[in-house]
Chain A
């Protein structure tokens, strides 16, 4: 400690130690924030059409186009150490062979930023609707985004992705469900995924699975009805 250089090294060295301890506290503290996520998800419409995986492909595959309703409440996943939550909705259905695990394909996804997260064009922001007209009775009024982070009300939501699997056949396959999954990304600490079971103060996801449905038979439909939705990430750097 006799010279300025040595004192500088001491301060910086101990700064890194304390910084590590503060970060460890932040990472561990999330376990003590209670979580009670809940979701109800309903299939709205599903169609299966023939298509090509890309423009020059000669292989024709079957693609399922899934529309759904979902009321998602993941507000309790956001605490002081949450940067963003990635949510995705999968269609889960048994594989063609019995000894294989069920197939999962992502139908729709979104990045929900915390209120203080730096802005990015890939983030999902719920469409803000006009307030309901006064004449409309309260019970008939459509649900609007409440502005609470982590609460989403999706009505007749178009998929982002049309789904198929490695067999190329998806029509008339049964016992499929839509499931909500998430990935919490903290500022410091570990990533956590959907928990269906209780864990300490974290309650498991309530709901989160639709009733089982069957992919319908192949059908020729007009192109507009099979629109997919683009997220911000589809714009390649341009704002959504």
Chain B
């Protein structure tokens, strides 16, 4: 009972996503941060206030973190098709 509960919590914290999701997450993290960095510099420069740059970039980073870190359902749309475990044909067993 306690073990099952612990396993559940561990899964939730680990937040595993599938291979396609990993590719998407990496692209999103990089492009979002670059986009927010550019936007922040442009806004600060045009409005003449470097505090705007700071606020826009911090907000953009928080947004990126929220978009990328949790295992959102769209990162788990292509689960890997694992093969079924096969019984040893020759009857060899490995003791660990």
Contact = CB atoms under 8 A, between A and B. Distances in A.
Contacts of B78: none
A202 interface: no
Interface residues of B, number: 33
Interface of A is mostly: helix
A78 to B, nearest CB: 9
Interface string A1-39: 111110110111011001101100110010000000000
B69 A8 contact: yes
A20 B20 CA distance: 30
Contacts of A8: 65, 69
Contact of A11 (B29, B40, B51, B53): B29
A169 to B, nearest CB: 48
Contacts of A18: 33-34, 36-37, 57
A81 B29 contact: no
A22 B16 contact: no
Given A7-B29, A8-B65, 18 more contacts: A4-B14, A4-B15, A4-B71, A7-B68, A8-B69, A11-B61, A11-B64, A12-B65, A14-B30, A14-B33, A18-B34, A22-B57, A26-B44, A26-B53, A80-B44, A80-B47, A80-B48, A187-B50
21 contacts: A2-B17, A3-B14, A3-B15, A4-B14, A4-B69, A7-B15, A7-B68, A8-B65, A11-B64, A11-B65, A11-B68, A14-B33, A18-B33, A18-B37, A21-B37, A22-B37, A22-B41, A22-B57, A26-B53, A79-B48, A188-B50
